[in-house]
Amino acid sequence: MSQFHLSRRSPDEEFPDLGRNYTWMGQILTPAMYRRQFHRCTHSGVIFDDVIRPGLEEPGHWSGPVSVGCVAGDPESYILFCDFFDRVIESHHGHKITSRTPESDFNHDNLKDFCFPTHCSRGERRQLLTLASKALQRLEEEEALPGRLLLLQDLSPEQQRELNLNSPSASQLRIGVARDWPDARAVWASTDGGLVVWINMEDHLRLVSTRDDANITEAFKRLYVNLQKLGGFYRELRHPFTWKQQLGWVSSSPADVGTGLRIRVHLKLQHLPQHNRLQDVLKRLRICMDTTESPALYAVSNTATFGLSEVALTQLVLDGVKLLIAMEMRLEGGGDIEELVPTQK
């Protein structure tokens, strides 16, 4: 990416208006911090104004978490702008970043990082698609997992709807991940439909493991096993997934660093969504609850991805779902849920 940008005035003149910004970025960014970051630029051309996104205020979930309001253009962003990103990550995930010194690494082969989708070029995006195609072909051939790779530009509107593919949202357009849509975007789906891999959407790769029988353990196992295999194939192709010692796995959104894992369970709830203690309960459980297109059907998921292991996050959601079901049954029978309200997780 080019490192040439529009002519800018002084940091004080360029400081964004945060008066109505309710994101973590809006709460954390100060003029002094902005001045410190103003003239910094990563090797791929990401400057601090590419990172902060004043227009990314988004409505909260039932539990009311604040949107992060910022994105990383490349892995180096988390290092160069660490005094900003570290505070955003700690605030959003509620977990302190350790101060361990990164291990020494002089292996030049590790300098093959791609920019994140928020900042990558058409050429990078197409190269990422080629890498994904090679790795997924090996997954099919060596692991006996049949599937097919579908390019978005070749799919009809009906086929896109069947795969739950939507047009880019306003937020995706603002942060740049939808540039040149649908060029080099694709989806790989296993023949049985249990595993789907999104390519060059909001992330370089996103694996989704689904089941209809509520067997989260098997869904987790399938995701983990195939992610490990794909990670191995990428390492052999000399493009390993990006991992930072203090943060774990990183992506364009600070909301997804650490594990990058989202566990989502759909629940039918009639009474609990109307209860005045719901938001407090969700906050204590560290989960959120979103509406879906179906009445009384809600998607329950973890609010944080950083600070806990993948197993611990999955167990946290499982425990939370069990408690929500118990509360719903108590309310259905005319009872009170006060004694079921948990302590803070």
Q: Write the pLDDT tens digit of every residue in 35-85.
A: 999 999 999 999 999 999 765 554 444 444 468 999 999 999 999 999 999
Query: What are the C-alpha distances in Å from 194 to residues 4, 189, 212, 220, 254?
Result: 44, 8, 9, 11, 28
* 106, pLDDT greater than 50: no
Looking at per-residue pLDDT, the higher value among 285 and 5 belongs to 285
Domain ranges of the chain: 1-113+245-255, 122-241, 264-340
CATH 3.40.190.10 fits 122-241, yes or no: no
The pTM of this model reads: 0.86
Mean per-residue pLDDT, 304-326: 96
Separation of alpha carbons 58 and 79, rounded Å? 26
Q: 178: closest CA among 93, 71, 265? A: 71
Q: Is 293 flagged in the annotation as binding?
A: yes
Facing residues of 52 across strands? Answer: 70
Separation of alpha carbons 115 and 121, rounded Å? 8
Q: Is 325 flagged in the annotation as binding?
A: no
Mean per-residue pLDDT, 76-97: 94
- Least confident residue range of 36-50, 91-105, 209-223, 270-284: 91-105
Separation of alpha carbons 161 and 163, rounded Å? 5
99-102 long-range contacts (CB < 8 A, ≥24 apart) are 99/246, 100/245, 100/246, 102/244, 102/245, 102/246
pLDDT at 214: 86
Tokens of 227: 């992610």
Separation of alpha carbons 121 and 106, rounded Å? 27
Percent over 70 (pLDDT), the chain: 90
- What counts of helices (H) and strands (E) characterise the chain? 12, 9
DSSP designation for 253:
-
Mean pLDDT of the residues in the chain: 89
DSSP designation for 41:
B
One of 1.10.600.10, 1.10.135.10, 1.10.3470.10, 3.40.50.1240 is the CATH number of 1-113+245-255, namely 1.10.135.10
Separation of alpha carbons 150 and 162, rounded Å? 12
pLDDT at 99: 63
pLDDT at 20: 82
Tokens of 25: 């970025």
Reduced to 3 states, what is the DSSP secondary structure of residue 175? helix
* 162, pLDDT greater than 50: yes
Which value, to the nearest 10 degrees, does the dihedral of the CA atoms of residues 237, 241, 244, 248 take? -150
* 175, pLDDT greater than 50: yes
Separation of alpha carbons 283 and 251, rounded Å? 25
What confidence tier does 167 reach under pLDDT thresholds 50, 70, 90? confident
Q: Is 263 flagged in the annotation as binding?
A: yes
Q: Is 328 flagged in the annotation as binding?
A: no
Q: Is 262 flagged in the annotation as binding?
A: yes
Tokens of 107: 């292996």
Q: Is 275 flagged in the annotation as binding?
A: no
Q: Is 44 flagged in the annotation as binding?
A: no
Q: Is 266 flagged in the annotation as binding?
A: yes
Q: Tokens 């060596």 belong to which residue?
A: 142
- Are 197 and 138 a contacting pair, CB within 8 Å? no
Q: Is 154 flagged in the annotation as binding?
A: no
Looking at per-residue pLDDT, the higher value among 164 and 209 belongs to 209
pLDDT at 54: 62
Reduced to 3 states, what is the DSSP secondary structure of residue 21? coil
Q: Is 253 flagged in the annotation as binding?
A: no
CB neighbours of residue 288 within 10 Å: 22
Expressed in angstroms, the distance from the first to the final Cα of the chain is 43
DSSP designation for 243:
E
Separation of alpha carbons 142 and 278, rounded Å? 47
CB neighbours of residue 49 within 10 Å: 16
- Are 308 and 94 a contacting pair, CB within 8 Å? no
- Are 100 and 246 a contacting pair, CB within 8 Å? yes
Amino acid at 46: V
